[in-house]
Structure 1
Amino acid sequence: MKYLSKRTVREAGQGYFFMSPALFVLLLFIIGPIFYVIFMSFHKVQLLGTTSYDFVAFENFARILDDTRAQIALWNTFKYVVIVVPCQTILALILAATLNAGMKGQTFFRIVYFLPTLTSSAVLTLIFMWMYNKNGLINNVLDAIGLPTYNFLGDPNIALNAIMIMNIWSTAPFFMVIYLAALQDIPDSLYEAAELDGANTIQKFLKITVPQLRPVTSFVAIMGLIGTFQLFDQSYIFSGGSGGPDNSTLTVVLLVYQYAFKNLGTMGYAAALVLMLAIVILVATLIQRKFSKEESLY
């Protein structure tokens, strides 16, 4: 058996001592709450008044299968993810490629494009609510050019799409900056060789730029998946916390908020919904990573 020297033990102790504040914060605010949520998901929890934990095994998870609002929230969230993630990724790539092409005033446009990312999500939502209003900017423009107006905030068929448009516009600039940084690493010799072979701009983009950015695209897609699955604030502000109209903007995180903080005795069920959402995000991320690895083999 190999014994550690006193110096090695002392150095290790010093290292853990300096790491202890970070480890304490990690344990208290990340690892601890994760295990607490798992614990609550198997209990009927009463936190207000007399605190109680009644073990119910998998009853909270079985309730999800019979909860119509949970199924609607899951479908809304799934539809939101499937549409927003590809759109914001493609838009970010196109914006980055355009700004990297050496156009005049590209520094100015980089600043302008990035401004939505610097704005508070709540402020952006309020601005878009004003634009989507019956007498707002968009309907006034539509009416001025003779097109029909829409009740963006009150029509169940349009409300979620309105949030999608807002989020695509506001999140694409963040990923655009990531793509811009990655574009700087693509060797110019690849484009020069393609030009000698007679490739045009679109062919160079599809045959060189897109394949070279595949690892970055994988990262952007994963970050987009995680972010879109956690949609809450925009849906909450748009609907006043109800998820309306007619549950059309109800998401899983908003439903968790309603069960956790508006309905007494349903904290355990809310924890089960959170755990289910975490598993869905984990599975979606693993699937996306698997596809990206398979693509990198070709």
Structure 2
Amino acid sequence: MTVHAAWKRKLRNTVTGYLFLLPTLLVLGTFLFLPVFYSMYLSVHKVSLLGQVSYKWVGFDNFTRMAHDERAWIALKNTASFVLFVVPVQTAFAILLAVVLNAKLKFKNFFRVVFFVPTVTSSAVLTLIFMWIFNTNGLLNKILEAVGLHGYNWLGDPAVALKAIMMMNIWSTAPFFMVVFLAALQDIPDALYESAMLDGAGKWRQFWSITLPLLKPATFFTVVMGIIGTFQLFDQSYIFSAGSGGPNNSTLTVALLIYQYAFKNLDFGYASALAVVLAAVILIITLIQRRLFTEDKN
């Protein structure tokens, strides 16, 4: 085969490959990359929707405005608290479920299906179920009244509302990560545990010295995905508070605040600036985690 023929064949294969990728690239470009770049464009403009749509360049004014926005700081605090509590707990809970269901138990396939059901259930449905549980006339208060205690306005208490969303998120998300850890556990060679048993290592020693270290890649994945998901908390908070972030801004998250500024106040420039900052925070934390994981692996 001549050099010219080889070059033509390589070119044809390259063009064919990109043609196969074209539908995916068009979808990603339309629904991912274009909105991202447009949001960045809006973040440095003041958008007016009165009459003809107009864009006024304001530079970094939308970003500096955040420093004086009390609700932005409240939303950031709530989101950070949510992330710091939910991610470690749901990761540990997922590992626990995976280890239990990986053991030699009867009906373990049945329990795997039962535990996984919340993951495939609509988030809106789960939120409504938890609202019914914590409602003043809900299941939790009925149980308290049955044992002679007074009911409580759980969803009306700022100290409880966000914690209820945390519980729901852990319960609905941990089973998905459980499947990830189950797959990782089944890749660990049995010979390692057999050697440890011969050396006199008990179950706890095997767990801390073999299971956990070999679960690090799966743990990295679940923590990163957990952080990305919890930073973008919106639907549960929106349904719980009817879009207000109440009571007393206790369920206000950054994603919900972005929605309020964009679609209630029609302040698309400032909302886009908040979205850009949120994306930057998620990206930075992910890169730091990847760096730490790589160093730990080396």
Report TM bin, short chain.
Answer: over 0.9
Match of 2:283 in 1: 282
| CA–CA separation in structure 1 for the residues paired with 2:7 and 2:255 | 51
Other structure's SS at 1:199 match: coil
Match of 2:122 in 1: 120
Match of 1:54 in 2: 56
Report the residue type matching 1:188 in the other structure.
D
- Cα pair distance change 1:66/1:188, threshold 3 Å: same
**CA shift at 1:47, angstroms?**
3.9
Match of 1:179 in 2: 181
Report the residue type matching 1:275 in the other structure.
V
Moved more, 21-30 or 180-189: 21-30
| CA–CA separation in structure 2 for the residues paired with 1:14 and 1:106 | 47
| CA–CA separation in structure 2 for the residues paired with 1:174 and 1:49 | 47
- Cα pair distance change 1:48/1:124, threshold 3 Å: farther
1:65-110 CA-to-partner distances (Å, cap 9, x unmatched) read 0000001001100000000000000000000000111112111111
**CA shift at 1:292, angstroms?**
2.0
**CA shift at 1:147, angstroms?**
4.9
Report the residue type matching 2:252 in the other structure.
L
1:20-78 CA-to-partner distances (Å, cap 9, x unmatched) read 22222222111111111110000001246420100000000001100000010011000
Match of 2:269 in 1: 268
Report the residue type matching 2:265 in the other structure.
N
Report the residue type matching 2:264 in the other structure.
K
- 1:3-14 matches, within 5 Å, as 5-14=7-16
| CA–CA separation in structure 2 for the residues paired with 1:189 and 1:17 | 47
| CA–CA separation in structure 2 for the residues paired with 1:117 and 1:254 | 22
| CA–CA separation in structure 2 for the residues paired with 1:145 and 1:294 | 54
- Cα pair distance change 1:187/1:75, threshold 3 Å: same
Other structure's SS at 1:158 match: helix
Match of 1:130 in 2: 132
Moved more, 247-256 or 287-296: 287-296
| CA–CA separation in structure 1 for the residues paired with 2:108 and 2:101 | 6
| CA–CA separation in structure 1 for the residues paired with 2:187 and 2:7 | 46
Other structure's SS at 1:157 match: helix
Match of 1:145 in 2: 147
Report the residue type matching 1:239 in the other structure.
S
Match of 1:203 in 2: 205
- Cα pair distance change 1:42/1:120, threshold 3 Å: same
Moved more, 182-191 or 196-205: 196-205
| CA–CA separation in structure 2 for the residues paired with 1:96 and 1:228 | 21
Match of 1:105 in 2: 107
Match of 2:40 in 1: 38
1:292 aligns with 2:285: no
| CA–CA separation in structure 2 for the residues paired with 1:112 and 1:48 | 52
Report the residue type matching 1:270 in the other structure.
A
Q: Output the TM-score relative to the length of structure 2.
A: 0.95
1:161-188 CA-to-partner distances (Å, cap 9, x unmatched) read 0100010011000000010011101011
Match of 2:158 in 1: 156
Aligned residues: 295
| CA–CA separation in structure 2 for the residues paired with 1:235 and 1:208 | 39
Other structure's SS at 2:156 match: coil
**CA shift at 1:294, angstroms?**
2.9
Other structure's SS at 1:153 match: helix
Q: Output the TM-score relative to the length of structure 1.
A: 0.95
Structure 2 unaligned residues grouped into runs of 5+ = none
Structure 1 unaligned residues grouped into runs of 5+ = none
- 1:16-27 matches, within 5 Å, as 16-27=18-29
- Cα pair distance change 1:195/1:6, threshold 3 Å: closer
Identity of aligned residues (%): 60
Moved more, 104-113 or 286-295: 286-295
